[in-house]
């Protein structure tokens, strides 16, 4: 299956400067991320419910609003939306669901971004793919690079969960471990990419990972039969999924699928690394670097997210909010989610359970509202963290 293109251009998320999508682009000259813009009027002529019903159940079913070319795919997307009645009842919510992204290839939602990014990078002639990772993104990039036949360099903190290290090595990637955080790994890639000829696939430093992640929003629309939930709780590190879903909702409105109403987006962060929550509570438009970041949820350990301006703007525009949970709360909620609903979640996903409970108790979430929690990865990747929790 080769996708035709409705891509018109790339546009800076802040200054709105336009770029040619037919050549390799990364950040805008102003330093901010670029977003892909489509001819949505043309896309809407073939992206219909009737046509979707006949397509393969992968995220490439939305090919009209994805990068063109022959997809590098491992069957990602169309993850289950699970009704969690017992968990919902325990917090007074009648319509609580979990979107389980842990059932994607390589066990996390990162597969969505990488299928799109690697597909486009291959078409643009990339020779070596490189990215920093807190864990799951590295495993996903290594897998899709292997499927594409392109070498990959994965740079990760030395304390990255062992499962992530092993999968990257198994996929044939070059693994570099550093003493530090993902921000230090990002600097390593940035300092070497031009000299080494690496194609930088870092979070928001190329335009296409957002495109893969936004399909979570399209899937919710399909799974709720042409509607969207009232509230979405999303574990937020780099925030690409949150940004991508909001982009999807804007595209859906332009195609006439939905109106102006939006789900209230909730960014959930760890107490030990909460730059977005800190900025939100301080009523600021930008986040400050979060010093001494530490959490067992490696995907939430992003002290200086590049997408901070977009995330904070989207939380305001959707009348959303942002809050933190502790590591101990995540592990407690993970056991609860597993024992009550049979979902073994990553600590990042479990964090949304605690956040929903807090927001329901405060009245911010009403009992009859439709609420979706995103579990962004499988608990099987976090054996060290779960071993500590289960022995406690």
215 inside domain: yes
CATH number at residue 343: 3.40.50.1100
pLDDT classification of 392: cutoffs 50, 70, 90: low
β partners of residue 11: 18, 35
**Kindly report the CA angle at 240 between 93 and 94, in degrees rounded to 5?**
5
Q: Does residue 165 lie in a domain region?
A: no
Q: What is the model's pLDDT at position 383?
A: 85
Q: Is the pLDDT of residue 268 over 60?
A: yes
Query: What is the rounded distance in angstroms from the CA atom of residue 156 to the CA atom of residue 66?
Result: 28
Q: Is residue 68 part of a domain?
A: no
Alpha-carbon distance of 308 to 122, in angstroms, equals: 28
Are the CB atoms for 246 and 288 separated by under 8 Å?
no
Over residues 256-266, the mean pLDDT reads 97
- Residue 386 located in a structural domain: yes
Domain of 100?
A: 81-108+209-391
Number of Cα atoms under 13 Å in the Cβ half of residue 146? 18
Q: Which uninterrupted H or E stretch holds 121?
A: helix 110-123
**Domain presence at residue 144:** no
The more confident residue out of 163 and 106 is 106
125 within a domain of the structure (yes/no): no
Which residues 6+ apart lie within 8 Å of 248 measured at CB? 214, 215, 216, 217, 218
Residue pair 257/291 in contact by the 8 Å Cβ criterion: no
pLDDT band of residue 182 (cuts 50, 70, 90) is: confident
The pLDDT tens digits for 68-126 are: 989 999 999 999 999 999 999 999 999 999 999 999 999 999 999 999 999 999 999 99
Please list the residues that pair with 177 across neighbouring strands.
156
| pLDDT mean over 127-141 | 94
Domain assignment of residue 21, yes or no: no
DSSP notation for 251-284: HHHHTTSS-S--PEEEEEEETTB-HHHHHHHTT-
Residue 90 maps to a domain: yes
Task: Give mean pLDDT, residues 222-249.
Answer: 97
Total number of domains in the chain = 1
Q: Is the pLDDT of residue 390 over 80?
A: no
Order across the sheet with 34-38: list the strands: 18-19, 7-12, 34-38
């Amino acid at each position: 299956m080769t996708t035709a293109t409705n891509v018109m251009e790339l546009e800076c998320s802040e200054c709105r400067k336009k770029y040619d999508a037919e050549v390799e682009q990364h950040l805008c000259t102003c330093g901010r991320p670029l977003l892909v813009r489509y001819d949505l009027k043309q896309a809407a002529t073939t992206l219909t419910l009737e046509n979707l019903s006949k397509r393969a159940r992968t995220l490439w079913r939305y090919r009209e609003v994805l990068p063109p070319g022959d997809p590098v795919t491992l069957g990602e997307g169309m993850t289950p939306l699970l009704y969690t009645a017992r968990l919902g009842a325990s917090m007074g919510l009648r319509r609580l669901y979990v979107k389980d992204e842990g059932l994607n290839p390589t066990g996390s939602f990162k597969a969505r971004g990488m299928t799109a990014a690697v597909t486009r990078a291959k078409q643009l002639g990339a020779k070596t793919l490189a990215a920093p990772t807190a864990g799951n993104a590295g495993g996903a990039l290594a897998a899709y690079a292997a499927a594409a036949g392109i070498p990959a360099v994965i740079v990760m903190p030395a304390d990255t969960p062992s499962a992530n290290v092993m999968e990257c090595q198994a996929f044939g990637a070059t693994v570099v471990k550093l003493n530090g955080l993902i921000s230090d790994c990002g600097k390593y890639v940035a300092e070497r990419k031009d000299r080494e000829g690496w194609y930088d696939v870092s979070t928001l430093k190329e335009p296409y990972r957002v495109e893969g992640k936004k399909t979570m929003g399209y899937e919710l629309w399909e799974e709720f039969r042409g509607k969207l939930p009232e509230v979405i709780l999303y574990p937020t590190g780099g925030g690409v999924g949150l940004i991508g879903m909001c982009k999807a909702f804007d595209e859906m409105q332009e195609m006439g699928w939905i109106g102006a109403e939006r789900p209230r987006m909730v960014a959930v962060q760890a107490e030990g690394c909460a730059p977005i929550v800190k900025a939100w509570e301080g009523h600021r438009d930008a986040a400050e670097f979060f010093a001494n970041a530490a959490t067992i949820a490696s995907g939430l350990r992003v002290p200086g997210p590049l997408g901070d301006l977009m995330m904070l703007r989207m939380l305001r525009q959707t009348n959303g909010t942002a809050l933190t949970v502790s590591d101990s709360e995540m592990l407690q909620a993970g056991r609860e989610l597993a024992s009550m609903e049979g979902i073994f979640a990553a600590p990042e996903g479990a964090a949304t359970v605690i956040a929903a409970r807090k927001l329901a108790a405060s009245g911010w979430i009403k009992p009859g509202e439709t609420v979706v929690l995103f579990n962004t990865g499988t608990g099987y990747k976090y054996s060290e963290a779960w071993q500590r929790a289960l022995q406690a």
